Amino acid sequence: MILSVGTCASVFAQVDGRIDSHIITVVVPQVALLDLESSSTKDFTATFVAPTEAGNKLDAPQDNITTWLNYSSIQTSTTPKRVDVKAAPVITGLDIHLVAAIASAGTVGAKGTPNAGITLSTADQPLITAIGSAYTLNGANNGHQLTYSFDTVLDNANYGALRSGSTAVTVTYTLVDN
């Protein structure tokens, strides 16, 4: 006796349709980077010139325009960023004035808006506001040119507080959320 066992297998094949999809997860990192650039060195010396005639005041150093502020920024929300600046120590009788120029032509995105200028102090002060997702390009001649000046100090009421000597003043820039 022969027993025949038959097997019946059904194979279900998926039929391609007219539409299909998949998911692509796009990850954009938050970015908050800044640096100072110069064609030579970002550190500099501001030397006042002693008068050669009795009764005359010190001559202020020339404005320093050799430093550029570069940044890269990607926002996490609609909150813009800003650049704060402070200096330590401050020198009694001496004001250091700082101005940031508008961003150079190579800046891409929601570039920041410089304020009218500040006198450096030990407290953070906003120098550039309303920075969105943007980048300035890297290096000297890109971003915001910084101008340090000392000329107004020689005519102010604090002249009597000046003392001779050399002091290293550290100027600190910080990119923060507004």
pLDDT tens readout for residues 85-130: 999 999 988 899 999 999 999 999 999 999 999 999 999 999 999 9
Whole-number Cα distances in Å, 14 to 11, 17, 19: 10, 9, 13
The pLDDT score that the predictor gives to residue 85 is: 98
pLDDT of residue 151: 72
Tell me the sheet residues that pair with 80: none
Average pLDDT of every residue of the chain? 91
Q: What is the pLDDT of residue 9?
A: 54
Let me know: does 96 contact 119? Beta carbons within 8 Å. yes
Please give the structure tokens belonging to residue 109.
């995105």
Residue predicted with more confidence, 68 or 2: 68
Mean pLDDT of 144-152: 90
Structure-block tokens of residue 8: 């019946």
Q: Is the predicted pLDDT of residue 13 greater than 90, yes or no?
A: no
Distance (Å, whole) CA 96 – CA 89: 11
CA–CA separation, 50 vs 1, rounded Å? 126
Cβ–Cβ < 8 Å for 128, 104:
no
**Contact (CB, 8 A) for 48 and 163:** no
